[in-house]
Amino acid sequence: MLNPIKQLAGQTAIYGLSSIVGRLLNYLLVPLYTRIFLPQEYGIVTELYAYAGFLLVVYTYGMETAFFRYTEDKGENSRQVFSNAFFSLFFTSVIVSGLFIFFQQPIAEWLGYPGRSRYIVWFALILGFDAAAAIPFAYLRQQQKAKRFAFVKLTNIGLNIGLNLFFLLLCPYLINHVGGPLAELVSVIYYPSVGVGYIFIANLTASLVTFLLLLPELSYLRGYFDTALWKRMITYAMPLLLVGLAGTVNEMFDRMMLKRFLPYDQETNQSMLGEYGACYKLSVLMTLFIQAYRFAAEPFFFSHAKLNDPKPLYAKTMKFFVIVGSLIFLVITLYLDIFKYFIGEKYHEGLEVVPILLMANLFLGIYFNLSIWYKLTDRTMLGAAVAIGGSVITVGLNIWWIPIFGYMGSAWATLICYVFMAVASYFMSKKYYPIPYPLKRILSYLLLAIGIFFVFRELSSFALFTGMSTYLLSTVLLISFLSVIGYFERNEIRDQWA
């Protein structure tokens, strides 16, 4: 039988192919955006996608996790669980998107974008298609069809990237430099005044095609809706909606509120929001690792819960997660002078937030590992309490610190929030679902990574370290970290990967 840790790593790698390779390609659009658009224009993209991330949680309201939970329940018909989850999300998505489209004008005015209500229509459709695709994607994960999952995801991202390049580079080039019949043909579909709106049009097209690609998975649907089963699923899912909303507040509140709480004029606030949003992208490797891991880990945790004693396995999983996350933290922070060129130079003023946001996202991943206690014990309301506590910290600290410290206050608020959630979840798990996490080893690796970062920051400030010598210092420190891990984990690595 395949080693479970190797199995999880393999699934994470495949999901990571779709997420990391695809999103890295998508990530290459950031230099394009930050060179074509001014910070205040890119601030529109940052703000609207922050709201979209929040709303997608509302659209899916915990039904993905409920699908995993009840599919693994031997007392339930997995096909009926799939049908209930899909029909539930499909109909609510139609209703909510319809309301957004109907009230598009007042919503656009409230956001401060009068005359751009079409943005609201486009995002309502994007969210509707993405929510409708959520359960087919969850079905692929549950069935461990990671290659099919990766194919659809990569198609989505490839189409999104291609359309961005078409609208933002090719069309202007053809009109301004080529001319003739080809330029006239392009001018039928391309309007320079749309500007950043083409980013949203590309996303909408990709979301629609993705839903169409997932239609074969809908053959698994049954023809009727089981109301009694749906009541059990929604009872389980509703607290997860609170978890998701609180989690999205923790992740997105800073970008939703920076423009409103920064103490400058509207244009400056919008520009600083754009800087912060662009620098946030530099934590993308950590975000992508956590996303790929979550895709693989959630069905993994539920499927292995049926073992006699899965807790030692969960403990090992956490340890290796922290090791990889700490390594990503060091790679980006030690070589930030290279990574920074992925965004335009006028955005570099915000680079100081990157290490803070990287560590914040690492603690978010730790919290995700720890959160298995309330999902397996059906204490989702207690899990919601932890997430809500984190959101209270996020909201409070952002309102307090943004006017004083600017976006640095937002970055620190994010880190403090996720540290709180991880610590609170750990102590609650000890009571309700105790797992023998190797806490001393995990904390030692985290502190080692943080310590190496501070050593690098102090040493690199000396005139001795410039140019290539700085990269040599970075490499020596990174190898030192790997050597420590290799020494203390040599037996575990040999047993798990041999």
3-class secondary structure for the chain? CCCHHHHHHHHHHHHHHHHHHHHHHHHCHHHHHHHHCCHHHHHHHHHHHHHHHHHHHHHHCCHHHHHHHHHCCCCCCHHHHHHHHHHHHHHHHHHHHHHHHHCHHHHHHHHCCCCCCHHHHHHHHHHHHHHHHHHHHHHHHHCCCHHHHHHHHHHHHHHHHHHHHHHHHHHHHHHHHHCHHHHHHHCCCCCHHHCCHHHHHHHHHHHHHHHHHCHHHHHHCCCCCCHHHHHHHHHHHHHHHHHHHHHHHHHHHHHHHHHHHCCCCHHHHHHHHHHHHHHHHHHHHHHHHHHHHHHHHHHHHHHHCCCCCCHHHHHHHHHHHHHHHHHHHHHHHHCHHHHHHHCCHHHHHHHHHHHHHHHHHHHHHHHHHHCHHHHHCCCHHHHHHHHHHHHHHHHHHHHHHHHHHCHHHHHHHHHHHHHHHHHHHHHHHHHHCCCCCCHHHHHHHHHHHHHHHHHHHHHCCCCCCCCHHHHHHHHHHHHHHHHHHHHHCHHHHHHHHC
User: Is the pLDDT at 465 greater than 90, yes or no?
Assistant: no
Q: Is the pTM of this model over 0.75?
A: no
Out of 102-111, 256-265, 331-340, 446-455, which region has the weakest mean confidence (pLDDT)? 256-265
- First-to-last alpha carbon distance for the chain, in angstroms, is 14
Shortest CA distance to 295 belongs to which of 157, 133, 137?
137
At residue 37, the pLDDT reads 83
Q: Stretch 143-168: mean pLDDT, rounded? A: 87
Q: pLDDT at residue 157 above 80?
A: yes
Give the model's pLDDT for residue 36.
Answer: 84
Examine the pLDDT at 24 and tell me if it is beyond 70: no
Tens of pLDDT along 290-344? 777 776 676 777 777 776 778 888 888 899 999 999 999 999 999 988 888 777 7
Mean pLDDT of the chain: 84
- Residue 325's nearest CA partner among 296, 292, 279 is 292
Tens-digit pLDDT profile for residues 392-409? 999 999 899 988 988 899
